[in-house]
Amino acid sequence: MAQLDIEAGKAMLNIVGFAAACFTVLVLLPRLLHTYKTKKDGGVSWRCHWVLLVGLLAWLVYGIIALDAGIALANLAAGGELVLLMHWKSRYG
């Protein structure tokens, strides 16, 4: 019975982690689409972008060290989105 509880707990943990990963990646999509369409970043500072990128990279490293593919992939995807957004910010002003 205890083994079943552990497996159920792991499954629930994976579901929560997957949901968190989805939200992390999805949160940048509206800004990404807006910037692509309008060629304007909407006034988000470079400092904000850099702080977020450092945080995402730290979570990526954590995911790699902890051998947690979900955390690593989610932060890699969100970091990729942010790098693209930063590229457009530098290009379009």
For each of the domains in the chain, give its residue range(s) and CATH number, in order of start.
2-92 (1.20.1280.290)
Query: Alpha-carbon distance 87 to 52, whole Å?
Result: 15
Angle formed by the axes of helices 69-92 and 29-38, nearest 10° = 20
Q: What is the pLDDT of residues 47-89, one digit of tens each?
A: 999 999 999 999 999 999 998 888 899 999 999 999 999 999 8
Quote the pTM value. Answer: 0.79
Convert the pLDDT of each residue in 1-41 to its tens digit: 566 688 888 888 888 888 888 888 888 888 889 888 998 87
